A and B are shown apart, each in its own frame.
Chain A
């Protein structure tokens, strides 16, 4: 498994796969496939993709630690950046297509509507993570501080699920589904943390601090 994961073209393939939600939107857009309310469809698709990529990104650490397959780490930055990419598209859809740069309206929305406050907060918290995702920034901040900063993704994921939960009118099935996966992933982290506390792990297998090669 680790051998397969290390193949160069696997990452390229994954990159293309990550673009599929956008490709689907563009294709549907050109084929009258976005339905009666295309702006809403674009908003929902980019929002769903953001949450999905946040959860996929968060599943990398449990995958590599619980399954003992460190090679998964080479996809994490790309997946995280795709979460930001779809979050940015989601925000852009709201800003341009939904509100059409109605800044007073947007300020009112962010301040008054809890679900928009939550979503906006989640998006803003992702911006520093996207900026500091480069090897240079990891060096500048130092592994420990960089890691601390990037724990903000937990807050973003929680804010994202809350944003969705507060937005739906009555059928909470989908937001609860995202919430359940997120809760599971967070519990995994607690389990990993406890495991690290009670058993002595050799540093070679479970590196405590991140080096640049791991995240590239």
Chain B
């Protein structure tokens, strides 16, 4: 199964980033040199445009996913300049600037708790656990705006299978890096850090739950949760935790940051639900960025057919 794929190579076989980066630089350099020769004059525009400003390393060989929506994708610029990443400031435009120098390599993820294979996993290894898929998902924020994003990643359950959780592990807890030196604005956020989130095991195992490493054909921009984040499209955006450094398997339901901060406003489940208002605003409708008129919010953000059965018998008004 997929577990074999994870074990089918040694970490020594992975090309170190410095090597492939220099190879890219070399290739880019030859292209630029070639272009210059062809044009017969030095073209600073060509030289500066590779890689394009604000863009990261391209990811190739992406597999299309049947889970993708055919709705209109939001612009890269909108998705990278309208972010809730409170470690880098609470204004939507702040993370784009303040996360510019965020160090996302080298990066490791600690896997802990009730698992057969705990340990510290390198991001390079994680990137190669499974073929990378492009998944175009709707993303609905609890603040009643939404976007459509072409994420890149693979199902979270690939990693879960690999680390062999014990049967008593009923929940998965996630933690974002908190480095006050790199995130000085975090102290004004008004929520406790490090940011923590969690899923019930069956939610985490659901094929829609994506372990995300990129978007728009390239690695994740820093402000969007580089180098590794979660995307859980049927839940409000804050469940899709960014810049993950720890994954813990446990029996007890883990605490989650927004729930700790305001328990009457944000529950553990936080499934998109037009029938359950946030105390301070309605959740019945949302504004898709780029559109003037609001649209109706769909139960489970339009993924009810796939995920509603996870919650049969549960009172979703109580378990908001």
Q: Spell out A's residues near B (CB within 8 Å).
A: 35-37, 39-40, 97, 100, 105, 108-109, 112-115, 166-167, 169-173
Contacts and interface: CB of A to CB of B under 8 A. Distances in A.
Contact of B92 (A37, A109, A114, A172): A37
B48 interface: no
Contacts of A108: 282
A35 B191 CA distance: 25
B292 A171 contact: no
B93 A35 contact: yes
Given A100-B293, A108-B282, A166-B280, A35 B82 contact: yes
Nearest to A170: B190
Contact of A171 (B145, B190, B281): B190
Contact of B86 (A35, A115, A170): A170
A97 B261 contact: no
Given A36-B81, A100-B293, A173-B188, 5 more contacts: A37-B145, A113-B279, A114-B280, A166-B280, A169-B262
Nearest to A166: B280
B169 to A, nearest CB: 31
Main secondary structure of the interface of B (DSSP, over half): loop
Instruction: Select the residue from A40, A113, A171 with max chain B CB neighbours within 10 A.
Output: A171
Contacts of B92: 35-37
Interface residues of B, number: 29
B287 A39 contact: yes
B90 interface: yes
Interface of B: 74, 77-79, 81-82, 86, 90, 92-93, 143, 145, 188-191, 261-262, 277, 279-282, 287, 289-290, 292-294
Contacts of B279: 113
B289 A171 contact: no
A171 B81 contact: no
Contacts of A100: 293-294
Contacts of A173: 90, 188, 190
Contacts of B289: 36-37
Contacts of B79: 36
A113 B293 contact: no
Nearest to B80: A36
28 contacts: A35-B81, A35-B82, A35-B92, A36-B77, A36-B82, A36-B290, A37-B82, A37-B145, A37-B287, A39-B287, A39-B292, A40-B145, A109-B282, A112-B277, A113-B279, A113-B280, A114-B280, A167-B280, A169-B143, A170-B86, A170-B189, A170-B191, A170-B262, A171-B86, A171-B189, A171-B190, A173-B188, A173-B190
A172 B145 contact: no
B81 A115 contact: no
B202 to A, nearest CB: 29
Contacts of A35: 81-82, 92-93
Contacts of A36: 74, 77-79, 81-82, 92, 289-290
A113 B145 CA distance: 18
A183 to B, nearest CB: 20
A113 B278 CA distance: 10
